[in-house]
Amino acid sequence: MFEYFYNEILRRTIISFGTLFNGITVKTTNSDDDVVNATKVPLAYGPTQKFLARLLQQPDLNKPTAMTLPRMSFEFTGLTYDPARKVTTTQKFLVKDPVTNKNTSKAFMPVPYNMQFELAIMCKLNDDALQIVEQILPYFQPAYTVTVNLVGSINEKRDIPVILENITMQDDYEGDFSERRVLLYTLRFSAKTYMFGPVKSATDDIIRSVKVNYVTGTDTSNTTRDLTYSVLPRAIQAYEGDVTTLVAADMTDTQLTMEVDAIGSLKALDYLDLEGEEVQIEQVDGNNLVIKRGMDNTTATVHVKGSPVKYIDQAVERAYIAEGDDFGFDGTIS
């Protein structure tokens, strides 16, 4: 049932969430409102309890100072299914391969999940905490959308809303003077991400050959003849994109002869891609080709001198046929 795949979606979403808060700065001013100190607030991934334990522990001989404040930490705390964003699970979508830009890849529609996060702001001074909180809250109303490349193999980017759910504050001011004060703000977020399954090449489902058997007569238990019809898919575009020759003279949309710069190895019955119009060679006469226009439901259009002519090489182009391509079939009866 299951197969190995790893799109790194959870990891990418966690990293994207953390990058939202890695540029926050706290400034200290004097009585004249001049900035005397500016501190970039450190951000790390991990549970708040670990940082609080590190903050309150006795510093050892090699590190004479405890952890400094202010500091922020964030943690991925939960994952829940979101039925409100559910789509048809059996539906597929196609994308261009980001490397070749020719082959297409396919995947089932993603499954919506909500990721829960906690952002902890630890400060000693209340003014530091207020500065940090005010640099965050205006961007969440209550959602802030970040674009995440969820599946790198197909360059699938989705807008992920990050929603601020609630804020709590804890001020541990009780105790003697030997205990450090910790002012803790906890912001809880929910990120509406998507989980993708394995991505496959769309050409995996292309029909490479089909055979249909026919029998004659009404008595199928005692047939007298067996007929097989074999077909192979035929590409109707020059996916490879190599230019074979050029149009040597302007052509109208009804003209049935085409003059080219060089014939090369072109011959009768070959198919050509002429700026999106598919034509078939009926006869070769020097540098003139007698052609059939608008093959396979393509539209015959005007072509000017110098337009590229591309040979549709079936041995090469068949590898690029995409699922859903309206290609024709050529068949033989045996």
Nearest to 11 by CA among 200, 190, 151: 151
Asked if the model's pLDDT at residue 264 lies above 70, the reply is: yes
Q: Are strands 71-81 and 43-45 parallel, antiparallel or unpaired?
A: parallel
Per-residue confidence at 65, pLDDT binned at 50, 70, 90? very low
DSSP 247-268: B-S-B-SS--EEEBS--TT--T
Q: Which residue has the higher pLDDT, 242 or 319?
A: 242
Per-residue confidence at 252, pLDDT binned at 50, 70, 90? very high
Question: Which CATH code fits 9-202?
Answer: 3.30.2000.40
User: How far apart, in whole angstroms, are the C-alpha atoms of residue 201 and residue 319?
Assistant: 11
Q: Which of 2-11, 99-108, 140-149 has the highest mean pLDDT?
A: 140-149
What are the tens digits of pLDDT across the range 26-58?
998 888 888 888 889 989 888 877 766 665 555
Nearest to 25 by CA among 166, 134, 174, 145: 134
User: How far apart, in whole angstroms, are the C-alpha atoms of residue 168 and residue 186?
Assistant: 5
Name the residue with tokens 């910790």: 182
Name the strands in the sheet holding 245-246, side by side, starting at the edge strand that comes first in the sequence: 245-246, 308-311, 271-274, 277-285, 288-292, 257-259
Per-residue confidence at 69, pLDDT binned at 50, 70, 90? confident
What dihedral do alpha carbons 255, 264, 321, 280 form, nearest 10°? Answer: 30
Asked if the model's pLDDT at residue 304 lies above 90, the reply is: yes
Beta bridge mates, 98: none
Least confident range of 69-73, 182-186, 224-228:
224-228
* Structure confidence at residue 329 (pLDDT): 43
Q: What is the DSSP letter of 83?
A: G
DSSP 28-65: EE-TT--EEEEEEPPEEES-HHHHHHHHHSPP-TT--S
Q: Are 102 and 320 in contact (CB under 8 A)?
A: yes
Name the strands in the sheet holding 92-96, side by side, starting at the edge strand that comes first in the sequence: 92-96, 104-108, 200-201
SS3 9: helix
Q: Are 104 and 95 in contact (CB under 8 A)?
A: yes
User: How far apart, in whole angstroms, are the C-alpha atoms of residue 211 and residue 220?
Assistant: 19
Q: Are 237 and 312 in contact (CB under 8 A)?
A: yes
Share of the chain above pLDDT 70, in %: 70
Which pTM value belongs to this model?
A: 0.56
Q: What is the DSSP letter of 254?
A: S
Name the residue with tokens 């205990």: 179
Domain with CATH 3.30.2000.40 in the chain: 9-202
Q: How far is CA 285 from CA 137, 259, 267, 313, 328, in A?
A: 76, 9, 10, 21, 27
User: How far apart, in whole angstroms, are the C-alpha atoms of residue 313 and residue 322?
Assistant: 16
* Structure confidence at residue 328 (pLDDT): 46
User: How far apart, in whole angstroms, are the C-alpha atoms of residue 167 and residue 118?
Assistant: 10
Q: Which amino acid is at 204?
A: D
Give the helix ranges, DSSP H, for 111-220: 126-136
* Structure confidence at residue 33 (pLDDT): 82
* Structure confidence at residue 237 (pLDDT): 81
Within a 13 Å sphere around the CA of 210, how many CA atoms are in the beta-carbon half? 12
* Structure confidence at residue 218 (pLDDT): 61
Q: Which residue has the higher pLDDT, 323 or 179?
A: 179
Q: Which residue has the higher pLDDT, 221 or 281?
A: 281
User: What tokens does 300 get?
Assistant: 């015959």
Main-chain dihedrals φ then ψ at residue 55, nearest 5 degrees: -70, -35
Q: Give the mean pLDDT of the chain.
A: 79
* Structure confidence at residue 220 (pLDDT): 58
What are the tens digits of pLDDT across the range 106-154?
677 889 999 999 999 988 888 899 999 999 999 998 899 999 998 887 7
* Structure confidence at residue 333 (pLDDT): 44
Nearest to 246 by CA among 234, 263, 230, 233: 263
